[in-house]
Structure 1
Amino acid sequence: MIVTVGPWWTVAPALGAAVGYAALAAGAARLGRRATTGIMLATLVLHGLALAVAFGTTPVRFGFAPTLSITAWLVLAIYAVETRLYPQLGTRWTLAGLGVPAVLLALLFPGTAYPTLASPWLPLHWALGFASYGLLGTAVAHGWLMQRTETAIRRGTIQPSPLPLLALERLTFRFVTGAFVLLTLTLAAGWTFTRLLQPTAGWITHKTVFTALSWAVLAVLLWGRWRWGWRGRTAVRMLYVAGALLLLAYVGSHFVLEVILRRGA
């Protein structure tokens, strides 16, 4: 995969989004709530525009970096909406720092070109995968905050989130449940499209194996939560494992293909 940068109209929104994320990560603590909200909204619009321009080009390009960029946009967009619904979460925009490398990597590594789509339904499979990444990424971020809050309570120090621990825990598992449902649909769609388009092709690949493992970890976590009330460190560690496995499923495998082996999917 050769590093490439597109024309200025594709680069400008992405660079603007990267600057906005960096400003939020570095200076959100010194900004007022209104200023932070305004900057975040403008940054999300710029990032969304950059994604729309990237995926609106012909031929369509897809790879590990665009997937990371979309995941970052979804996680931060969900968090932006959530802070409006739950003001107790505060404006802890350190998380916005993750958007900077995600946006810049998508500029440098736009992915593999797909001159023709094997099926008009393929974008649906991609959309389900994006949504799975976004919801699981949001769940991981909440799990991290939940772990920090629990540690602060044990030590008697200032909590990183004024939101009660039990409320934060409920939010986290809502995202876990949503990610599990979407991941189930993603696996079902992938199997269906493969059977329809390539009946003789093997469905079991490194991507499906890691995705299925992530799905299994989430299934065990939700079962343990329902049956035995799992919470705390056990739940968060399992959530981290599920997130890491899903990251390896597509982003990790395509990073190896595109950057290390320098070839497409």
Structure 2
Amino acid sequence: MNDKTLLKDAVRVLKATSRTFYIPITFLQKDLKLAVSVAYLAMRAIDEIEDHEDVDNDTKHGILLQVSDLLKQPFDEQAYLAALAPIKDKMPEVTLRLGDWLKVCPEGALDRVLAATSEMAMGMGKWAKANWQVHTRQDLDDYTYYVAGLVGVMLSDLWEWGAGIKTDRELAIGYGRGLQAVNILRNQQEDMEERGVSFVPDDWTRNDLFDYADENLAKADEYMKDLNKRSIILFCRLPLALAHKTLKALKDGREKMTRAEVEATVEEIQAD
């Protein structure tokens, strides 16, 4: 395949995999748009391994650690597919074609994407082995760092690479953690009923988890103040606005925002 075909495929898979994330990516420009697209696809590729209900935790752990090691060196597609062999038939296109997505990553951004995705794979493997059993605040911080805080760190690395914008690392982690905390609140009952997994520390109430989300979303709001390029501000503002509004809906006793509220928020950000 040539680069043009791969780019077309990357956009198609990105759009099919996450409509919500695809929209803010369209706000970005040129190389940054492509780098963030590849980063999302790479992280989604390993997330599909971690999240698959028909793969046992020991297998997830072993494969994710292999993938983590492979991402620390020039990417070997054959070695990657060999690592996936035990679960290959269960994996979606976004995971099977990780090598294709990495091929179209802008050269200067590739090392950053590989490093962050490698660290995420290692952390996901560790938590799969532990069956995602969170018992303390420290556990929760560790889990949310690997699955979401790292996204904030990687995005900040890309902002510096592509736009010369420097941000605070802890606030970047807070940005990712805040979004993840809202997801945990939204899916709390489903995670317990369907997977027997709780991301809530043993001595916490749901209100404590609300406080955790508020604390990290406040860091996300502070993070926004370091951004000075309109396209990047718009990119970061949409997921954050949706997280704030979802949290309010949950506090009001609703399960989630309505589709109309989501669409109105998207329109509001796009019109800014």
Give TM-score, length-normalised by structure 2.
Answer: 0.37
Larger radius of gyration, structure 1 or 2?
1
Give TM-score, length-normalised by structure 1.
Answer: 0.38
